[in-house]
Structure 1
Amino acid sequence: MTATISTQTTAVPEAGTFPILVEHEARYADLDASRRIGRDALVRWFEDARVAVEHDAFGADLQTRMQSQVGILLAAIKVDVLAPLTVAGRYRIGVGVSHIGTTSFSYSYAVFSGDDVVATAESTSVLTEDGRPAPLPDDVRTALDGIRIDAPAPTRPERGDARRVRENYPFRWDVRTRFSDIDTNRHVNNVALASWYLDGLAELHTDVLGYPAGGPLDGLSPSSLSVQYLAQVQYPGIYQLRVAVEEIGEDTVRYVCGLFDGRELIGLAEAEGFHHAPGEDGDPVRLAEALAPFRFKA
């Protein structure tokens, strides 16, 4: 039996909800094969907005002091695409702090095209010292509290024992890190890692479709991507990305992806999108049956 999987879990916000609105111009390099703004580009947009907000909210002196004593690492991000984004559009990114914990804090985001919300996101960052979570200083808490928003704290994908077993994910794609993937922290950047999961899904779709020229159908790209960064990914290195189908609904499919260093789970993602899309002749190509053998094994 199949059921429709819901892709929208939170209410759509309005621009006035956010204490900060950042103007953001789309670039040609942000486009993917569908001629729309790519999911990985949106992850970059939210990173740019987050860095700009922290520079202004914390102040240059506080930010420099924090960076010299501790690190700010992204622990998780979830992106939902609600409508197509084009390079010709003019966008604003709403940003607000949704949760302040002991060692971490979370943001809520929305991308506005005019008054329309075309994408939303949420993320969690952790303060670390000597590689371990560190308590948020009082002045950081004060700065974060000044841009609070009334929004639920982010939820993270489940990390049960079954998801830590590499062989439970039927589809395998090996990834070699590139020098261009690393950031100022000398590990693979969160945006590059998000793109790995998208590439892994594209590899699965391409395999199912028989490796067509130009890659898989545009309509198969996920509309929702949620990533947990469980450990730093280093350069140089070769990692295994594993993909499984968690649930197949009437129109949509939910995936779970695990990134492994040997047998250790160092990253986890969930994604959701359609399992059918228009083919070159205009007739729909349906992949539900072809995806069934890739179900999660546990």
Structure 2
Amino acid sequence: MPPKEILEKKRRRRSDYPFKLEYRTRWFDNDMYAHLNNTVYAMYFDSIVNTYLINHCGMDPFSVNNKDQSSSQSTAEQVGIIVSSYCDYFSSVSFPDVLDLCLRVAKLGSSSVTYEIGVFKQGEEDVKVVGGYTHVFCARETMRPTKEGMEAGVRRGLEKLVVKDKERESKL
């Protein structure tokens, strides 16, 4: 029998994730076994996380150290460095499937965040893949964490994605 953590992930639903992004698979994404190549999932995870960081946390890499012309908010001066990643596969998908990538924050620390991404095929309720990674936010110049932790604007954006597992809470 799989570990309890894997069984919890396999029961995920779209409603367990506050942020969603539609993603169309490409012919190029398939491998020789006619399903998405494992490495493609890492690109999907990177796409949804960075879409959220750019649009909701001020981490636009194309506006480094500049004021956003449409707001008074400065862009983040930190970068997120991946320190760990994982992926649990439950069912395969392939081109030409349209996917719903769904994002939540599993853990928010002072200078780090652990993301969880659920991959769903549109029209189906069962999660196909659950994966994610941990970012440590570092000063751009030194690539080292700062004493102050992650910037306040980044933290405010990520706090909106923090989801507590109902199953774990009921046992506390």
What TM-score does the superposition give when structure 2 sets the normalisation length? 0.76
- Distance change (3 Å), C-alpha of 1:121 and 1:35: same
| TM alignment of 1:32-181, pairs within 5 A | 32-59=31-58, 64-65=64-65, 69-113=77-121, 114=123, 115-129=125-139, 130-134=142-146, 135-151=149-165
SS in 2 for 1:128: strand
Give the 4+ runs in structure 1 shifted more than 4 A: 4-8, 60-63, 65-68
> 1:68 & 1:138 partners in 2: Cα distance?
9
SS in 2 for 1:41: helix
Q: Could you tell me which runs of 5 or more consecutive residues in structure 2 were left unpaired when the two chains were aligned.
A: 66-73, 167-172
Q: Deviation of residue 19 (structure 1)?
A: 0.7
**Which residue of structure 2 lines up, in the alignment, with residue 259 of structure 1?**
none
Tell me if the contact between 1:108 and 1:151 (Cα under 8 Å) persists in the aligned partners. Answer: no
Distance 1:27 1:143, change over 3 A: same
Change (3 A) 1:35 1:128: same
- CA distance in structure 2 between the partners assigned to 1:123 and 1:50 by the alignment: 10
Once the two structures are TM-superposed, the CA of residue 7 in structure 1 deviates from its matched residue by: 9.8
Q: Secondary structure at the match of 1:48?
A: helix
Distance 2:50 2:3 in 1: 31
Tell whether 2:31 aligns with 1:19: no
Distance 1:105 1:10, change over 3 A: farther
Shift of 1:99: 1.2
Q: 1:151 to 1:75 in 2, by over 3 A?
A: farther
2:19·2:104 contact (CA, 8 Å) conserved in 1? Answer: yes
Residues 39 and 67 of structure 1: is their aligned pair in 2 closer, same or farther, counting only changes over 3 Å? farther
Alignment of 1:275-294 (within 5 A): none
Aligned equivalents of 1:61 and 1:34: distance in 2? Answer: 37
The Cα of 1:88 is off from its aligned counterpart by: 2.1
Sort the Cα spacing of 1:6 and 1:17 in 2 relative to 1 into closer, same or farther, 3 A.
closer
Pair 1:128–1:116, CA change in 2 (3 A): same
Deviation (angstroms), 1:67: 7.2
Q: Which has the higher contact order (CA 8 A, sep 6+)?
A: 2
- Matched letter for residue 79 of structure 1: C
Q: TM-score, normalised by structure 1?
A: 0.46
Larger relative strand fraction: 1
For the Cα contact (< 8 Å) 2:87–2:130, is it kept in 1? yes
Q: Any idea what the Cα deviations from partners look like across 1:53-79, whole Å, max 9, x if unmatched?
A: 111111367974487733211111101
Structure 2: distance between partners of 1:79 and 1:106:
13
Q: Tell me, in whole angstroms, the C-alpha distance in 2 between the residues paired with 1:98 and 1:110.
A: 12
The count of aligned residue pairs is 149
Of 6, 9, 21, which residue of structure 2 is paired with 1:9?
A: 6
Q: The residue matched to 1:87 in structure 2 has which SS?
A: coil
Q: Which amino acid aligns with 1:141?
A: R
Q: AA paired with 1:54?
A: L
Using the TM superposition, give the Cα deviation of residue 5 of structure 1 relative to its aligned residue in structure 2, in angstroms. Answer: 6.6
CA distance in 1, matches of 2:100, 2:138: 30
